[in-house]
Amino acid sequence: MASNKKKKTHVRPLLPRPGARYTCFGDGLCCTDIHGIGPLTKKESAQMRRIDRKSAGWNDDHDDYMLNTAADGGCVFLMADQRCSVHAERGPEAKPEGCRRFPLGLVATPNGGRITTDHRCPCRTMGERPEIAPDEVEPSISEGGKLVADRRIRRIPLTAKKQLKWSEWEPVEAEYLRRLRGREPLAEVLDANAFPALRGSSWDKQADEFVGARDGSQFGVAMAWVGDTISAMQNGRAPRSPGRPWSAAFDRAEARSPKARTSREVFGDWLSDEVWSLKWAEDYHFALARTELATRLQIAQDICARLRASGARADRAAAEAVMMVELVGESDYWTEIKDRIRVS
């Protein structure tokens, strides 16, 4: 497959996805061990260690410099009021780039820089949020006054054998985004078979690996949720919920969100950003992306239904489910699954 990185792309104008909304409410989940807090450059690690010598360093699990977490799983700089002490005392520019950037991202395309968002934080998925304004988010996706792209994409791999020019992809994508924002069942929009056969493995085996990844962190619990859900769905047994250590962040989000959205809205918004981000276009193709998204959607919907049955509000249940499947989707465990999927 030809490399996209050598093609001519642009980071301006900045292009938010139509309908994408986000602002930071300080719910605090992103500053915890729900994911690795980093990576940091060696210089950033040294700067953080000058503030607190135990705050950062080399992490063998991540094979990179990372911020450390305290006993409760929160970043060592996370204060009781969910604010960052580095930000509060020294300003946002004193934080590592990854902290300033999350959950935002930037993709250079022939038309300009697409602003992307991750959905694992309830600040992105719950409550009344303003539409993303390019001028307001630009400082977060810049370094030294220059916009920094996470990836550069010009041509689109539609299938394993077919690529589209950017001008050919735009109307295809626009139709998907329109339908994802609509009311039809999301599985019909994706039009792909969930849980395809895996070359050299099985979903049961992969589910066991997910459950085995539980390591005491919130990320490990999310992995266990997804693994147990896959196992239950494959074998028709009752699932066993591993707990919800992230509940406090979602409690705060629910308290500031008197008007609930539907689970369909939460899932459609997430899938729209998965397509818009073009992460899949770097190493895979759209047919495979639709297949793995259909699988993660089915897992998320099952988790959402279980949370709803336990009394959770629809949008919160969907937001927690999206958080879990997004985390898993960006892990090495899910990369292995994508490498085993064969879609024409």
Q: Is the dihedral of CA 133, 317, 183, 293 positive or negative?
A: positive
| 8 Å CB contact between 229 and 278 | no
| Maximum separation of any 2 CA atoms in the chain, in Å | 54
Report pLDDT digits (tens) over 125-154.
999 999 999 999 999 999 999 999 999 999
Pick the residue with more confidence: 124 or 342?
124
Residue type, 256: R
Whether the pLDDT of residue 5 is over 50: the answer is no
Per-residue confidence (pLDDT) for residue 237, from 0 to 100: 86
Per-residue confidence (pLDDT) for residue 343, from 0 to 100: 87
What percentage of the chain exceeds 90 in pLDDT?
Answer: 95
Per-residue confidence (pLDDT) for residue 238, from 0 to 100: 87
Q: What one-character DSSP code corresponds to residue 104? A: E
Q: What one-character DSSP code corresponds to residue 56? A: E
| Gap between the Cα atoms of 286 and 284, Å rounded | 7
Report pLDDT digits (tens) over 243-292.
999 999 999 999 999 999 999 999 999 999 999 999 999 999 999 999 99
Tokens at 150, concatenated: 């996470």
pLDDT mean across residues, the chain: 96
Three-state secondary structure of 163-194: EECHHHHHHHHHHHHHHHCCCCCHHHHHCCCC
Q: What residues have CB less than 8 Å from 214, skipping those under 6 apart?
A: 220, 221, 223, 224, 242
| Gap between the Cα atoms of 299 and 303, Å rounded | 6
**Residue given tokens 């690529």 in the structure block:** 163
| Gap between the Cα atoms of 303 and 227, Å rounded | 11
| Gap between the Cα atoms of 268 and 179, Å rounded | 9
- Band (pLDDT 50/70/90 cuts) for residue 344 is low
Whether the pLDDT of residue 230 is over 80: the answer is yes
Report pLDDT digits (tens) over 192-221.
999 999 999 999 999 999 999 999 999 999
Report pLDDT digits (tens) over 295-342.
999 999 999 999 999 999 999 999 999 999 999 999 999 999 999 998
Per-residue confidence (pLDDT) for residue 310, from 0 to 100: 96
Among 123, 121, 128, 104, smallest CA distance to 17 is for 104
CA 267 to chain centre: 12
CB atoms within 10 A of CB 337: 21
Whether the pLDDT of residue 79 is over 80: the answer is yes
**Residue given tokens 């308290």 in the structure block:** 255
